[in-house]
Structure 1
Amino acid sequence: MSGRTVLSGVLFGIGVAGFIDETVFHQLLHWHHFYDKSTPEVSLVSDGLFHAFGWFAAIAALFLFADIRRRGGLRMARWWGAVLVGAGGFQLYDGTIQHKLLGLHQIRYDVNLLPYDLTWNILACIMIAIGIVLLVLTRPAHLTRPAPTPAGG
């Protein structure tokens, strides 16, 4: 059940991070699109596909969450740790792979990117670190006890 809790949290974190990115940076601030190297129409379609991916990740996560809760195996602190790992992981992937390696888009254009890149990626690392701490602190008991040694060994 712990693995499903983590999967649900990670998927939900990815979905929420994608939703915030899409809503704030794409739609409200108009800083970029998912894919900025083509026409405005292609950029808009890429945003729609990106938004759909985030939505489906969040919905799948909530179905898993409901099932885990129904079965009595939900540990909220563990789930929140996984949410932070998922959101931070998405953000770090976005800031390093999509922005820098693939060049699909930048956070902003016509500005000094360094403060934006540092803020984006440092926040991602902080979320991942806090999430990992929560996951370690809430790991199942059978993973925290040392294995018994054989008698006379």
Structure 2
Amino acid sequence: MPPVPAARDAEGLQRRNVLVGVLFGCGAIAFVDEAVFHQLLHWHHFYDRSTPAAGLVSDGVFHAFSWFATVASLFLFADLRRRGALRARRWVGGVLVGIGAFQLFDGLVQHKLLDLHEVRYGVDLLPYDLLWNGVALAFLAAGVLVLLGTRRRTGPDAVPRHG
């Protein structure tokens, strides 16, 4: 028997909790990357294959993305709360997945595949790359475990199951 419309709406809100968390996680880790590795440590810019001025502009665009993603996710978070549909564990699981997925995308696609920048220049990259991607995998795995745990729970953070 297919789920009734109210059940489909509840499932949609469950997914929205995760997606809002993922968006917040992406925005938050992008902000940390920009603030710590770009601005404070000066290890790299978002795009290091041109002039220093182009690197600064690329950092500005990257920073705008992180700010937009974080603020947008907070508006969506507030909407979930207003509807009484916030499921904290699912949201936290989404945040952890967002952090891990963004960091892994950065480490594999932006650093290695597209060669936009490295974690750090003038050093042996292997330990940096292993740590960067290892931390990303740890966040991703933690988020998946939290989300799987919400499927087995009963109560306000559980996902409804249909026959």
Taking structure 2 as the reference length, the TM-score comes to 0.86
Q: Given the alignment of the two structures, is residue 125 of structure 1 paired with residue 137 of structure 2, yes or no?
A: yes
**1:142 Cα deviation after fit:** 2.9
Q: Give the Cα–Cα distance (whole angstroms) in 1 for the partners of residues 58 and 138 of structure 2.
A: 28
For residues 83-127 of structure 1, the C-alpha deviation after alignment (integer angstroms, 9 at most, x for no partner) is 000011000000000000000000001100000000010110010
Moved over 6 A (4+): none
Q: 1:83 pairs with 77, 81, 95, which one?
A: 95
Q: Give the Cα–Cα distance (whole angstroms) in 2 for the partners of residues 31 and 109 of structure 1.
A: 7
Q: Given the alignment of the two structures, is residue 142 of structure 1 paired with residue 154 of structure 2, yes or no?
A: no
Letter in structure 1 aligned against 2:98: G
Query: 8 Å contact 2:24–2:69 — kept in the other structure?
Result: yes
Taking structure 1 as the reference length, the TM-score comes to 0.92
Q: What are the within-5 Å matches in structure 2 for residues 3-82 of structure 1? A: 3-82=15-94
**1:63 Cα deviation after fit:** 0.6
**1:141 Cα deviation after fit:** 3.6
Q: Give the Cα–Cα distance (whole angstroms) in 2 for the partners of residues 106 and 112 of structure 1.
A: 11
Q: CA RMSD in A?
A: 1.0
Work out the number of aligned pairs and report it.
145
Greater mean alpha carbon deviation, residues 65-74 or residues 132-141:
132-141
**1:27 Cα deviation after fit:** 0.1
**1:77 Cα deviation after fit:** 1.2
For residues 25-78 of structure 1, the C-alpha deviation after alignment (integer angstroms, 9 at most, x for no partner) is 000000000000001111000000000011111111101100001111111111
In structure 1, the gaps of 5 or more residues are 148-153
